[in-house]
Structures are given as C-alpha cells and as structure tokens.
Amino acid sequence: MSSIFLYRRTSCRLCESFNLESVFKLADSPPAEWFFQPNHSKSSSIKYPLELFFCRDCFHLQLLDVLSPESLFREYFYTSQSSPGLQMHFKNFAKKIVTDLRLNSQDLAVDIGSNDGTLLKEFKSYNIRVAGIEPSLELAAMCESEGIPVSKNFLNKESVDEILKQFGPPRLVTANNVFAHNDDLFTMLLNIKKLLDNNGVFVFEVSSLYEMIKCKVFDWIYHEHLSYHSLISLIPFLKKAGLEIRKVEYILTKGGSIRVYATHRECLEALHDPESIEKQLNLELSYGLNKSETFKKFAAEINNRGEILRNELIKIKKGGRTIVGFGASATTTTLLFHFKLLPFLEFLVDDNPIRWGTVVPGTNLMVKKPTELEKLHNFDVLITAWRFESAIRNQHSKKIKMRGGRFLIPLPEFNIFN
C-alpha cells in the first residue's frame, strides 16, 4: 500500500477503548476528493479500505484506516462558495453568533479550516477581527486575497502559538465540517482549549449521525471523514479535554447537521441550554445510536438499495439508452465505487467549473460541462449528487426533457422522473 496510507488504528478515536466492532465494510475506494486532470500524478490513485467501526464503550462510529492529511488536504479544491446554499448558511450563522455573543470590534474570531474565507468574510463585515487556520495553500491564498490573515497550517501547537502571538486569544473559535477530519481529536481539542479565551466559545458543526442513518446518506462515508458524530459520544469526549457542551442546535446543511456550543468547563456562559442537549440525546438514543445492531441494519439496507439500482440500470442499458451521471463530489466517489456503478456511465457532468476536465478518482471517467447533455438523445441522467436532486431537476429538466432525457434518482429510494 502506498505512502498515503499511514496505519490502521486499534483503539477508539475518542475513548481509546479496544472494544471495537466492524459494522459496515464498504468497497475500497480512492480518496474521494481527488478529482484531478487525467495527467495528474494522483489521477490513477490506489484504492484504500473503507470500513466503519463502532466503539462498544463510548458508542462512537469511525473509520480506523487513516490516510495522510498532507496528501488529502495540501492540494484541496473544495470551496465553501461552491456548495449550494452554504454561503447563505454562513451569512445567517455569522449574524446569529455575533448577536448571541454580543461580539464587537475588540473581539477576535478564528476559523479552523477556514477554506476560502466565506465564513470569516461574514464576521469581518460586522467589524470583528478575524484570522484563519488553513492547510491548503490555494485556499489560504483565497483567504488572504480577501484581506483575511491565515496561518497556513493544520491546527497544531505552531498555528496556535502563531495566532496567540499575533492577535491574542479569540472570543470565538469555529470549526465547521472539519471536526470529522482529524485522527488525533484529543490533541485538537487541547489546542482549541489553549487557543480559546477564558470566556470564549467554541462553536463547531458536524454532520448528524442520526440524519445520516435515518436518511440513508451512506455516501457521506469517505476517507476524509474519520468520525461520524453523535452527542452521545461527544459530551464525555469534550469533558475529558476540559470543555463543556452548553448548547446544541439542529441545522439543515450537509444533509442534516448539529451545531455544538462549548466553553471552558469553569466558564459560566449565558448560552447554556440544557433542554437542547437533552432533546438531541433522547433523539439519538431513541434511534439506537448506542447499539451496533443499528449500523449493521443500516449497512444491509444500503447494500439492498445498491442491488436494486444496479438491476434497474441493467434493464435501462439493455433498452439501448445512454446513462450519464450528474454531480461530481466526494460523495459521488463512494456512491460509484460501493454501488459498482462505473460500468454503467458514459461520463459525468457537474455545475461546478472546477470539476470540468477532471476524472473520477481512480478512473478514466470524465467530468464535463452540463452543456454536453445537449448533444444526447434518449438518455438518462443518474443524479449522483442525489441530495440536491430537486435543485438539479429544477435547473436542467426543461432542456433534458426536450431531448428525450429522464432523471434517475438512486436514493433514498430508486425513482425515475420523465
């Protein structure tokens, strides 16, 4: 196995227990975001194990096979502004946080994994001091072009010391959709605790494990996402690092997420909302997120849906229709490899120009402009970005219908839209 593969853990990422159980073995696949040009050195990447393990002690769901963060995130092209609705989400997020915490021009907001600076630009518009921590050199440059200072690094002792020396401790630390990426989460929390002002608030967003299981969003599982979080396991984990969860909110992004507010344990933060915590915990427990059987059942349901989809595609191909995919995201990689869909597709299209001319990771399947669909007749469009199927159909259905095209929806139930 190549040098990008670091190791397989033998202990739980949160509680260090060895009491682990495999609950869902997915098909081996390449790094999900590696949509490169065909001649790129990483375009023919090796496939790596993708297997979910459940901790019987703290109930955390996780991958144990760890790939090199340097390989995954130094050349990272996903931008916040390219995700449908995320810009408005961050705009509303900033307004709410600034109001709730009464932030002013003396306060500092630091965003971990600041990406292209979309969130920090919103804080900056309120005259809040801002700084980012971002390992992708290209994304860090995008931040700096907006006048946002960035530590071009992962969150570690060096980046924390750099921020503290230059700006002082932040009143707010945010980490949106990056808390699943770190193998050493405990050290990450200790660095956040060191960075955070004594009266500061750490706010992070993670995909909701409850929503992932309930809505069958299995393609959210890929190598960058080492952890799949529930409040059940997060509460004791943050306590171990000296942080206390004060409040939790449900939000719609990323197929359903939770926003968690935490402070130093000795901080008497006014945002404390124990009812919100109890409500989320009861929801997770009622759905069995503390039982390995829940995830084994989930795996069986997903595999069954994959078989149904393949059988439908076989019939469509026998009928002489061309099938193309719509949506070239990280989730597409998992969907295509685990459901064994690659032989059915002629190519993919995507609305994001950054994907045009690239190939699906580990394959020679091209990603093209949506205008390529106008050259086809009597064809079917498999919406691989199925969580956005409504937006895709609304935008493209008229042209596709005129050329005898249909939409195929793979999940949560197979469907055909003429």
Q: Are 184 and 12 in contact (CB under 8 A)?
A: no
DSSP state of 359: B
Q: Are 114 and 148 in contact (CB under 8 A)?
A: yes
pLDDT at residue 140 in the model: 87
**Rounded Cα distance, 222 and 112, in Å:** 21
pLDDT at residue 254 in the model: 66
Please name the amino acid found at residue 15: C
- The gap from C-alpha 179 to its chain's centroid, in whole angstroms, comes to 9
Q: Are 368 and 356 in contact (CB under 8 A)?
A: yes
Strand 48-55: give its sheet, edge to edge: 20-29, 48-55, 61-63, 227-228
What three-state secondary structure class fits 227? strand
Question: Measuring CA to CA, how many Å separate 178 from each of 60, 134, 260?
Answer: 17, 11, 13
pLDDT at residue 82 in the model: 53
Please name the amino acid found at residue 18: F
**Rounded Cα distance, 338 and 27, in Å:** 5
DSSP state of 46: P
Q: Are 385 and 332 in contact (CB under 8 A)?
A: yes
Q: What is the pLDDT of residues 286-335, one digit of tens each?
A: 999 999 999 999 999 999 999 999 999 999 999 999 999 999 999 999 99
Give yes or no for a cis peptide into 412 (omega within 30° of 0).
yes
The β-bridge relationship of strands 5-8 and 20-29 is: unpaired
Class of domain 80-290: alpha beta
Q: Are 185 and 155 in contact (CB under 8 A)?
A: no
Q: Where in 257-321 does DSSP place strands (E)?
A: 257-264
Q: Where in 208-278 does DSSP place strands (E)?
A: 227-228, 243-251, 257-264
**From the CB of residue 410, how many other CB atoms can be counted at a distance below 10 Å?**
23
CATH 3.40.50.720 boundaries in the chain: 308-417
Strand partners, 26: 50
Tokens for 224, please give them. Answer: 């960058």
**Rounded Cα distance, 197 and 191, in Å:** 12
pLDDT at residue 183 in the model: 95
Contacts 24+ apart (CB under 8 A), 241-244: 241/186, 241/189, 241/190, 241/193, 242/193, 243/189, 243/192, 243/193, 243/202
Please name the amino acid found at residue 80: S
**From the CB of residue 187, how many other CB atoms can be counted at a distance below 10 Å?**
14
Please name the amino acid found at residue 62: Q
Rg (CA), the chain: 22
pLDDT at residue 1 in the model: 46
CATH 3.40.50.150 boundaries in the chain: 80-290
**Rounded Cα distance, 75 and 193, in Å:** 28
CATH fold for domain 308-417: Rossmann fold (3.40.50)
For 374, list phi and psi in degrees, rounded to 5: -70, -10
Q: For residue 305, which of 229, 215, 418, 209 has the smallest C-alpha distance?
A: 215
Can you give the length of the chain in residues?
A: 418
Q: For residue 148, which of 119, 188, 191 has the smallest C-alpha distance?
A: 119
In the chain, the N- to C-terminal Cα span, in Å, equals 45
Per the rule left: phi > 0, alpha: psi between -120 and 50, beta: everything else, 404 is left
Q: For residue 332, which of 287, 392, 416 has the smallest C-alpha distance?
A: 392
Which residue stretches of the chain have pLDDT < 50? 1
Q: Model-level pTM?
A: 0.92
Tokens for 11, please give them. Answer: 């202990």
